[in-house]
């Protein structure tokens, strides 16, 4: 079974962008994928980063909120993390295995940090991954 994992689509990343972006259509593309998964009633998992650093861009409650359109529905699970990997300090791996999910479609913010770390770890754990 497959699942869509959406990583850190939160206000703080877009309010505090420090560098020039290379994919200006990312949000629209991810929203299209999310809408397709919802239409087909497929598994959707949201990952929310909760910074423990007072100076972190995802420390304040406002910055931790999901972007408009990315708010989880009541039937969609949310895993909260404090580090780059969505697997560390969460029950994500157990949830995936308990629900026979072996194929992951991973999207989100930011590629050189949380997305790539989660993708590499998912692959190391034996999941099939599409980025």
DSSP string of the chain, one letter each residue: -EEEEEE--BHHHHHS--S--S-TTHHHHHHHHHHHHHHTT-EEEEEEE---STTSTT-SHHHHSBPTT-PPPTTSEEEEESSS-SSTTSSHHHHHHHTT--EEEEEES-IIIIIHHHHHHHHHTT-EEE-
State the Cα–Cα distance between residues 3 and 88, nearest whole angstrom: 19
First to last CA, the chain: 16
pTM of this prediction? 0.88
What string of pLDDT tens digits covers the 131 residues of the chain?
Answer: 999 999 988 777 666 555 666 777 888 999 999 999 999 999 999 999 887 666 766 656 667 689 889 999 999 999 999 888 999 999 999 999 999 999 999 999 876 678 889 999 999 999 999 99
Q: Answer yes or no: are the C-beta atoms of 108 and 49 closer than 8 Å.
A: no
Torsion angle of the four alpha carbons 22, 106, 38, 57, in this order, in degrees rounded to the nearest 10:
-60
The pLDDT of residue 79: 97
The pLDDT of residue 50: 82
All domains in the chain, ordered by first residue: 2-130 (3.40.50.850)
């Amino acid at each position: 079974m497959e699942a869509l994992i959406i990583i850190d689509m939160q206000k703080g990343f877009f309010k505090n962008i420090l560098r020039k972006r290379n994919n200006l259509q990312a949000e629209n593309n991810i929203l299209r994928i999310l809408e397709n998964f919802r239409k087909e009633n497929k598994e959707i998992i949201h990952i929310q980063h909760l910074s423990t650093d007072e100076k972190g861009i995802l420390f304040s409650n406002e910055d931790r909120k999901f972007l408009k359109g990315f708010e989880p529905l009541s039937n969609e699970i949310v895993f909260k993390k404090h580090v780059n990997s969505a697997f560390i300090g969460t029950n994500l791996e157990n949830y995936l295995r308990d629900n026979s999910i072996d194929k992951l479609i991973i999207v989100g913010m930011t590629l050189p940090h949380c997305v790539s770390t989660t993708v590499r770890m998912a692959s190391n754990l034996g999941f099939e991954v599409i980025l």
